[in-house]
Structure 1
Amino acid sequence: MDYAASDLTQRERYKVLTSFVLPRPIAWVTSVGPTGVVNAAPFSFFNVFCEDPPLCMIAVNRRPDGQDKDTLANIQRTGEFVVNIADEPLARAMHESSGDFPPEIGEPGYLGLKLAPSTAIAVPRLADTPWAMECRTWKTIDVNGDRQLIMGEGIHFHIRDELWDDKAMRVHMDRYHPIGRMFADRYCRTDDRVVFPAAEGAKGK
């Protein structure tokens, strides 16, 4: 089975991509609205891309009526957001925060999620997540007028203490249980892990 991307509808291309590019990390993004309401929304078209500077990117499409989603409007207005990573205990709340909440209702307050102040920006982070990165907008790219790629520069990191060996600069993987996105309403755990020895490269060259 093969397809030319141009022969598929937008929805069909989405289904092909999200069915096979698995699992995807989830950016649980907090942002602040014009009246101070804190918004939290998950995005699985997301990843980090480099470390100097630390850059991440999320893709935010517009609502079916053409209006900007709260996350996009907030980031465009303030230039700030926090990428939070959900683990298993927070997975249900993360999923529920993807619902269509009106701008005047903040998902953290509605779902009973605790907030904590950020260090370098005004947008708060989700206090109980294992990892969070404060970001300022680095660049935005318009895609066909209905989607924005938002590149953020990470300027401050928050790590749950028991997850991190600060001497080795290494995560305790036996304690870290992030959730990945599959497709539709399906997610995955990340505890089934495989370790390979370091590759030696081709011999005789």
Structure 2
Amino acid sequence: MQLDLAGLSAEEAYRWLTATVTPRPIAWVSSVSAAGVANLAPFSFFQVICDQPPTLMVNVGLNPGGRLKDTLVNARETGQLVIHLVNAAMAPVMNETAATLPPEVSEIEVNGLETVPGTRVAVPRLLQAPVAFECEVESITPYPAESPRHFLIFARVLLAHIDDAVMADERHVDPEKLDLVGRMGGLWYSTTRDRFPMKRPP
């Protein structure tokens, strides 16, 4: 089978790409609007892209109808984000925060999530998330340039919070205790419970 992705609709291209490029890590992003409303939303077009400086990238698409998502608006207005990783225990409530709510409504409050203030940023951090990265926005790149449907947020990590409960020792995270979930195609998610080691060749 061959697919000419350039000839497909955006919806069809999305369906094929997300069904094949799996599993994808999930960025659960909290942000605050200029009016002070805390927002929380998950994104699976997400990755670490650089270690010096430590930088993450989150791809924020448009809402149906072409409206900018609150995360993007807030990132532009305040220049700050907290990016959380999602474990299996928090997956159901993460999914609830994917609902489209008005900008003046906080997903954090609607879902009764416990937060603490950021240390380096003025954005709340989810207390129960196993890993959270406090970030400042380095840049926001519209893509594609001729008719942007996506906005690539490059976020420089200022401070990482890692739950002591997921540590194997003082330098290593235990992946089984971390128990992250990944996004697959359609309604499917995966866990990181099944693993195997391979040593890289010299």
Structure 1 range deviating more: 177-186 or 75-84 = 177-186
Separation in structure 1 between the aligned mates of residue 101 and residue 200 of structure 2, nearest angstrom: 48
Q: Does 1:152 align with 2:163?
A: no
- What amino acid maps onto 1:159 in structure 2? I
Runs of 4+ in structure 1 off by over 6 angstroms are none
RMSD of equivalent CA atoms:
1.4
Q: Does 1:50 align with 2:53?
A: no
Alpha-carbon deviations, 1:114-168, whole Å to 9, x = none?
111111110111111000001111111111223211110011000101212553x
Q: Name the SS for the 1:75 alignment partner.
A: helix
Alpha-carbon deviations, 1:57-115, whole Å to 9, x = none?
11111222222111111011001001001111110000010001111211111111111
Q: Name the SS for the 2:177 alignment partner.
A: coil
Partner of 1:193: 195
Q: Does 1:174 align with 2:198?
A: no
Separation in structure 2 between the aligned mates of residue 103 and residue 174 of structure 1, nearest angstrom: 36
Partner of 1:40: 40
Separation in structure 1 between the aligned mates of residue 79 and residue 169 of structure 2, nearest angstrom: 30
8 Å contact kept, 2:62–2:150: yes
Shift of residue 177 of structure 1?
A: 0.4
Q: Name the SS for the 1:175 alignment partner.
A: helix
Shift of residue 13 of structure 1?
A: 1.2
Separation in structure 2 between the aligned mates of residue 3 and residue 90 of structure 1, nearest angstrom: 36
Alpha-carbon deviations, 1:161-201, whole Å to 9, x = none?
1212553x2102231101110122211111011123x2446
8 Å contact kept, 2:15–2:186: no
Structure index of larger Rg: 1
Q: 2:167 aligns with which of 156, 164, 168?
A: 164
Separation in structure 2 between the aligned mates of residue 9 and residue 61 of structure 1, nearest angstrom: 15
Partner of 1:21: 21
Partner of 1:4: 4
Q: Name the SS for the 1:112 alignment partner.
A: coil
Task: Indicate how the Cα distance of structure 1 residues 78 and 199 shifts in structure 2: closer, same or farther if over 3 A, else same.
Answer: closer
Partner of 2:121: 121
Alpha-carbon deviations, 1:7-54, whole Å to 9, x = none?
211111111110110000000000002222111000000011111011
Separation in structure 1 between the aligned mates of residue 71 and residue 179 of structure 2, nearest angstrom: 26
Gap regions ≥5 residues in structure 2: none
Structure 1 range deviating more: 158-167 or 95-104 = 158-167
Separation in structure 2 between the aligned mates of residue 28 and residue 199 of structure 1, nearest angstrom: 31
Aligned residues: 199
- What amino acid maps onto 2:182 in structure 1? G
TM-score by length of 2: 0.93
- What amino acid maps onto 1:148 in structure 2? F
Q: Name the SS for the 1:180 alignment partner.
A: strand
